[in-house]
Amino acid sequence: AHLLQGGKAGREGAFTSVKEGLDIFATLGDQSGEASCLLTMATMLLHSEGRLAEAMSAAERSRKLFLLVGDQRHQGLATHAVAQGNLMLGEVDYGLQTAMQAVVLARDAGDKFGEAAALHTATHAVVRKGRYGEALRMASEVQGLFRKMGNKQMEEAARRMVDQIKEALPTKAPGPSLSLRTQDDTATPGYFMRSITIAQKLSACVIWSAPVNQHMYIRYCLEFLKLVDDLKTAADGTKILVTTQGVTARQSGQDMAATKLSLNAATVWAMCRTLRLESPRLHLATIDLPLGATAHELTDCLNMAQDNSGPRSEIAFFMDRRNKLSVNTPA
């Protein structure tokens, strides 16, 4: 009745009634009724200016009580409220974590709308973390869930989110083609009699790609250190591009895969950072190439990295969902 009155007075009257109901259920020892009142209060307070702390407290208490009474569906709703509050507070990581917990709880309870709504909130969190590829997949899933339920309004909202994420996806304009020119070192007298090193005065760029998926990983790292030592004295103007492949990790803001290949390649990045600190005059850049890219696309990556390897001499390329080559530099 209070809500039907509308306006601030109606909302305050409704909140007072819910609070009175909370006191009654608490006196009777009815945990389910108490949790329901707390959830209602949290939902109302989330949209009230300056009362976010109260909303979070009510949502957390509600979630714990629903867990005690075994009401999985309402536990998911309370967890979703906690996630929304955390995002409003700027706690993106915890907001994403609790939103995904709400998705699982709603899915297990058979609450399709609750699942879609919680996934919608989780998608907002992923967008705020800058992980647009993952956010696009999640938003498309949300749109499909609302479509199956026949909820046209929410489906349209999800569709708009998909369009906004697509616009935010990084794209790359086609770069200039790379021209390669061979150097006839064999014409130099005494070529076969002298010690050969890759570090030469005429070299413009050395591309070093350590096969970190092989057992010779440590040996290649040591050879790379020897190369850097040669370049420090033999060719000051030579730029070194150290490449890895498919190891996005921190380099493009994605989660690090728990594989030996990923860990070894991440170690290469760490080693290069150490070398840059010890020898700041070296032109040393680290590049991560995308998996599944064609030879032409890999060539474009190396070409762009030679022109601009980012503000910290670290750059990562990846293929977005529209099959366009994209680039990201670490924060």
CATH of the domain at 23: 1.25.40.10
Instruction: Compute the distance between CA of residue 62 and CA of residue 56 in angstroms, rounded to an integer.
Output: 10
Residue where a domain stops, chosen among 168, 203, 218: 168
Q: Which residues contact 78 (CB under 8 A, 6 or more apart)?
A: 35, 38, 39, 42, 59, 62, 63, 66
> Which among 52, 54, 140, 59 has a CA at the least distance from the CA of 321?
140
Give how many domains the chain has, as a whole number.
2
Q: How far is CA 129 from CA 98, 146, 152, in A?
A: 15, 24, 28
pTM above 0.85, yes or no: no
Q: Is 99 helix (H, G, I), strand (E, B) or coil?
A: helix
Residues forming beta bridges with residue 239, ordered by sequence position: 205, 283
- The answer to the question of residue 210 being in a domain is yes
- The answer to the question of residue 178 being in a domain is no
207 and 292 share a domain?
A: yes
- The answer to the question of residue 255 being in a domain is yes
191 and 147 share a domain?
A: no
7 and 40 share a domain?
A: yes
231 and 272 share a domain?
A: yes
131 and 246 share a domain?
A: no
55 and 125 share a domain?
A: yes
Task: Please give the residue range of the domain that contains residue 138.
Answer: 2-168
Cα maximum dimension of the chain: 100
- Note the residue count of the chain: 331
Structure tokens at 298: 């890999």
196 and 307 share a domain?
A: yes
Q: At what angle do helices 52-69 and 31-46 cross, to 10 degrees?
A: 150
Q: What is residue 3's predicted lDDT score, i.e. its pLDDT?
A: 40
> Which among 204, 216, 224, 217 has a CA at the least distance from the CA of 274?
224
- The answer to the question of residue 180 being in a domain is no
- The answer to the question of residue 175 being in a domain is no
Structure tokens at 324: 């366009």
Instruction: Compute the distance between CA of residue 203 and CA of residue 209 in angstroms, rounded to an integer.
Output: 17
> Which among 62, 77, 73 has a CA at the least distance from the CA of 32?
62
123 and 218 share a domain?
A: no
pLDDT tens across the length of the chain (331 residues)? 444 344 455 566 677 788 888 888 888 888 888 888 988 888 888 877 778 888 888 898 898 899 888 899 999 999 999 999 989 888 888 889 899 999 999 999 999 999 999 999 999 998 888 888 888 889 999 999 999 999 999 999 999 999 988 887 766 554 444 443 434 443 444 433 344 444 444 445 555 555 544 545 555 566 666 666 666 665 556 677 888 776 654 444 444 555 555 666 667 777 777 777 777 667 778 888 877 677 777 888 888 887 777 777 888 877 664 555 555 555 4
